[in-house]
Amino acid sequence: MAQYDWTGIHIPIITPFKDDFSVDEPGLRRLVDYLIEEQKADSLVPCGTTGESPTLSHGEHQRVTEIVIDATADRVPVIAGTGSNSTHEAIEMTKHAEQAGAAASLQVCPYYNKPEQHGLMAHFEAIAKNTSLPLILYNIPGRTGRLIDVKTLVALAQIDNIVGVKDAAANVNQTMALLATTRKMSKKFYVLSGEDALTFGSMCLGGDGAIAAVAHVVGRELHEMMQAFARGDYKAAQDIHFRTLDVVNALFIESNPVPVKTALAMMGQPAGALRLPLVPLRPESRAELQRCLQELGKI
């Protein structure tokens, strides 16, 4: 298993679509360059929720992963979203990502079928046994209907190639309990914020960064916030947090990734259509997003 430092700001890249709703492959490649060069991504995460993965066919899922890996040209690692509520399907997608050259895999908590905690253990253990990729678990009960408990996360962290979690539980007590336990482990276990408005708070508690949809728009600022933390300048980090907070909140004014794709289009970047059941922003939401982007100087 390759060793990486997963500290940083990782961007769960959108999937740009053409007007006919097919994947915009040239646009995706341009977006990779933009996120690395302009938004200072420490890694890219294709085929997550922000990439509209629930609407991608298996073939499209694989193709998007391959394009992002190729387009990064080893400038940053790729954490491929390969999770599923079917353990067999997650294993097969993870094997494909490993063969395609991904550096790690993001594994969402199984959704809809709501396994018990010992079922979650069995699910992630099976995936880990079938790949040498580092696995970052994705704890987002608001979308999956099931919370991965701290006790379960700590038990899973004992597996060699389970290296971290995208913490989108939106519960500061859960985050504190997780950090209080994992910081004492001999093995490094990365806690990456997945609740974008709480990235600053997570890092104040000892978190390692974020997998942040808003980094499509304020990635450079989050990168600067990470640098401020690294040099111990917490006031500078706090200033960046509050300066960008209105935009961060506006980027979740409706369901992700609708506002993010809208913002990218306003900024002249490839974004394109949304696939149903996602629909364009309501006029009042669009106006609020535009106002916040203008105030921050993004458009």
pLDDT tens, position by position, 135-193: 999 999 999 999 999 999 999 999 999 999 999 999 999 999 999 999 999 999 999 99
Residues 64, 51 contacting (CB under 8 angstroms) = yes
What average pLDDT does this structure show over 210-218?
98
What average pLDDT does this structure show over 236-265?
98
pLDDT of residue 31: 98
| pLDDT (tens digit per residue) in 38-91 | 999 999 999 999 999 999 999 999 999 999 999 999 999 999 999 999 999 999
Q: What is the Cα–Cα distance from 263 to 271, expressed in whole angstroms? A: 9
Q: Is residue 196 pLDDT above 70, yes or no?
A: yes
What average pLDDT does this structure show over 248-253?
98
- Using a pLDDT cut of 70, give the percent of the chain over it: 99
The residues annotated as belonging to the active site are: 138, 166
Q: Is residue 2 pLDDT above 90, yes or no?
A: no
Q: Is residue 211 pLDDT above 70, yes or no?
A: yes
**pTM for this prediction:** 0.97
pLDDT of residue 3: 75
b/e 212-227 (16+ beta carbons within 10 angstroms → b): bbbbbbbbebbbbbbe
Q: Is residue 1 pLDDT above 80, yes or no?
A: no
Q: Is residue 100 pLDDT above 80, yes or no?
A: yes
Instruction: Label residue 224 by pLDDT band (50, 70, 90).
Output: very high
pLDDT of residue 255: 97
Q: Using CA of residue 154, residue 160, residue 163, residue 167, what is the dihedral sign?
A: negative
Q: Please give the structure tokens belonging to residue 16.
A: 């740009």
Residue 238, classified by CB atoms within 10 Å of its CB into exposed (0-12), middle (13-18) or buried (19+), is middle
Alpha helices in 73-146 (DSSP H): 87-100, 117-129, 141-144
Residue with tokens 């985050």: 175
Give 191-222 as a 3 state SS string: EEECCHHHHHHHHHCCCCEEECCCHHHHHHHH
Instruction: Label residue 123 by pLDDT band (50, 70, 90).
Output: very high
Residue 275, classified by CB atoms within 10 Å of its CB into exposed (0-12), middle (13-18) or buried (19+), is middle
Architecture of domain 8-233: Alpha-Beta Barrel (3.20)
